[in-house]
Structure 1
Amino acid sequence: MDVRHLRGIALAATLALVVGGCGGSEEEEPATEVATEAASEFEAGTRMAELAEAGRIKIGVKKDQPGVGFQEPGADEPTGFDVEVAKIVAAKLGIEPDGIEWVEAVSKNREPFLQKGTVDLVAASYSITDERKEIVGQAGPYYVTGQQLLVREEDKEEISGPEELEGKKVCSVTGSTSIKTVEEEYGADPAPFATYSECVQQLTNGQVDAVTTDGAILLGYAAQQPDEVEVVGEPFSEERYGIGYRKADAEMCQFITETLQESFDDGSWEEAFNRTLGESGVDAPAPPELDPCEES
């Protein structure tokens, strides 16, 4: 599918909103017409056509990772780079932000949520791995980061990198690649929890020696408690964030890949970064090279 065919979708959706707002109650039907028009841009029977026609999508995101995927208590929706990238993909389906249902997807639930249809897509600091691609589809990467460590301020000399982790109690979330790496490669004593917020609380309470995950996530937590915790050392892995979809919906790969490439080219990806992770003072990197889709 040529992504150029999709460029009229966002404009059509905007025009429908304008028409609906100018003519009173009798003008409310164009939203349905726009959804139908968006669906016609895709081959009948594809998952993209189904989602576009419905005009709604369920997307799994993290809600406890500042700058990546985070939702304040009482807020209507989450914020963060993952969230903004997911909105770009939804927009290419003709789906407005109010047509997105944001579902919290902790690390251990991401594959089951896709398999069971709890969500349509996952954009939740979801590292692309061969193991995961045996179970679900992943397209991307749209961001490349690296695993680092968060420690208490007073321990930053004792623990300055992964080489000092042997025998240390290290927290990360259940189902993440990070906890497996520090256990198998550096001899750490793993302490898995459901969320990174719980890990950070365990760290500040003195129950664990360090928290490990992607540097982008840890910087967000460090910014919240600059006098108590600090990110130390250089990245010691490569984590490539992708968007997950049901393995049965193989056609989604090309659609997502083309949408991401267009966002790299037109600057919307960089704008999304600057509005989120860029707020911490980090410059937007060059967009990563996208993986080719496997032929089905």
Structure 2
Amino acid sequence: MTEKIARGQEPQEPPRPEPPEPSELPETPETPEPELPEQEWQEQPAPVGLRVPTGRARRVRRFRLTAWIALVLAAVVVGASVLWVNGPPTEAELREKAGLFGKEILRVGVKDDTPGIALQEKTGTRVFRGFDIDIAYMIAADLGYSKDRVAFMAIETEDRARMQARDKDGRFVRVDLVVATFSVTPERQKDPSVGFSTPYLYTEQSVVTRSDYQGKVTSLGQLRGKKVCTLGTSTSEVELERATSAFVTAKNRISECVEGLKGGEYDAVTTDAAILAGFVKESAGGLVHHDIALEKTEMWAVNAGPNAALRDLVNLALYRSYADPQNHGWEDAYKDNIEPMLLASPDVNVAQSEQPCVLPPPIRRWPWERGLASAQECLSR
């Protein structure tokens, strides 16, 4: 039966049930967030406020970046391979082209009558000493030849371009290298039989007289009317003929000129200062060295003939001597042979005391194979 509410009395709400404890709540399964559908990536700016899809787009971008890096690396590898195949030859390849593989003895043509530069001992043995000899040994060592595998053969001035020297029996033999005070000239460089290395010594032309000569020679012109001896087919003979009308005698051996000067046959001898300085030193005051103030520099170089590969290997040996601070081959050769001659020729620039600048030859080597300090610029030397 329904209970009636009295007039003026507020109805009362039925009591609310107490909320259950958290542990008593029924477990509601989690509803996963809806996944956005994958969309194709388009390389254009997204509208403001629009969320750019990142799933497949990131994968595509990573793929493209990886492909680009692989392409660059492939290009580098291919380029390096092409450079390695088509670039300059290696040192081993040059040795093969030069004919050094299987070659037991290296034949070198040198002067045998020039004290301090290249002189054969007069003891019946084939022992040579001097600056050119030490330079030849230095080059030979870099080519892989010990001193006992180097055969020096006397060569005369006129035979240096032909590379014909005499062996111990006096027979003409073709040599592999000529290290014999051979000056570089434009005319010689045009000769196809001559293959000059980079220069290994700078000197200048000078004049020697007996100590009783009246006056001082300061130019070739002062030798006008004098009897002068020089080396035939040499740069000294050419300069002498240009500068004076002296009575010129040309010899193949400078020692013959000096002997004639001492005996009164000639009034003067002229040739490179580094050649004459040794004779002045040995004369113990009997000869006087004169500076004739020529601007032209005499540049001695090694002749490898038409063997271009051997010439490049010689240049590599000279470069190592120049650029490697641990290599003292050139400095030792100068100190042992040329420095002792300087005191007897105080007024003459006998030879520059520094090795001429040598740039790296065109030989292919990886950076880790070089192991040399960078060559300084020639102008800074």
Q: What's the TM-score once normalised by structure 2's chain length?
A: 0.62
Q: Does 1:240 align with 2:289?
A: no
Q: Which of these residues, 173, 178, 189, is aligned with residue 133 of structure 1?
A: 189
Equivalent residue, structure 2, for 1:286: 354
Distance 1:250 1:117, change over 3 A: farther
Residue 175 of structure 1: how far off its partner (Å): 1.6
Equivalent residue, structure 2, for 1:119: 175
Equivalent residue, structure 2, for 1:92: 142
Q: Does 1:267 align with 2:328?
A: yes
Residue 143 of structure 1: how far off its partner (Å): 0.3
Equivalent residue, structure 1, for 2:152: 102
Residue 52 of structure 1: how far off its partner (Å): 4.4
5+ residue gaps, structure 2: 1-83, 166-171, 344-350, 363-381
> Hey, what's the Cα distance between the residues in 1 that align with 2:143 and 2:156?
25
Equivalent residue, structure 1, for 2:121: 72
> Hey, what's the Cα distance between the residues in 1 that align with 2:331 and 2:261?
33
Amino acid at match of 1:186: T
5+ residue gaps, structure 1: 7-40
- Structure of higher RCO (CA pairs closer than 8 Å, 6+ residues apart): 1
Equivalent residue, structure 1, for 2:313: 255
Pick the structure with more strand per residue. 1
Amino acid at match of 1:287: Q
Q: Does 1:213 align with 2:263?
A: no
The residue correspondences of 1:225-236 to structure 2 (distance < 5 A) are 225-236=283-294
Amino acid at match of 2:318: L
Equivalent residue, structure 2, for 1:26: none
Distance 1:81 1:279, change over 3 A: same
Equivalent residue, structure 1, for 2:221: 163
Q: Which of these residues, 148, 163, 166, is aligned with residue 206 of structure 2?
A: 148
RMSD (CA atoms): 2.7
2:236 is paired with a residue of what secondary structure? Answer: helix
Residue 83 of structure 1: how far off its partner (Å): 0.8
Q: Does 1:59 align with 2:108?
A: yes
Distance 1:43 1:155, change over 3 A: closer
Instruction: From the CA coordinates, give the structure whose radius of gyration is larger.
Output: 2
The residue correspondences of 1:177-192 to structure 2 (distance < 5 A) are 177-192=235-250
> Hey, what's the Cα distance between the residues in 2 that align with 1:169 and 1:293?
45
1:203 is paired with a residue of what secondary structure? Answer: helix
Amino acid at match of 1:148: S
Amino acid at match of 1:80: G
Amino acid at match of 2:175: V
The percent identity for this pair of structures is 28
Amino acid at match of 1:226: A
> Hey, what's the Cα distance between the residues in 1 that align with 2:262 and 2:164?
34
> Hey, what's the Cα distance between the residues in 2 that align with 1:179 and 1:65?
18
> Hey, what's the Cα distance between the residues in 2 that align with 1:108 and 1:55?
28
> Hey, what's the Cα distance between the residues in 2 that align with 1:197 and 1:281?
19
Residue 194 of structure 1: how far off its partner (Å): 2.0
Residue 293 of structure 1: how far off its partner (Å): 7.3
Amino acid at match of 1:69: A
Distance 1:216 1:43, change over 3 A: closer
Equivalent residue, structure 1, for 2:377: none
Pick the structure with more helix per residue. 1
Amino acid at match of 1:55: E
Residue 44 of structure 1: how far off its partner (Å): 6.6
> Hey, what's the Cα distance between the residues in 2 that align with 1:279 and 1:158?
24
Equivalent residue, structure 2, for 1:12: none
Amino acid at match of 1:273: Y
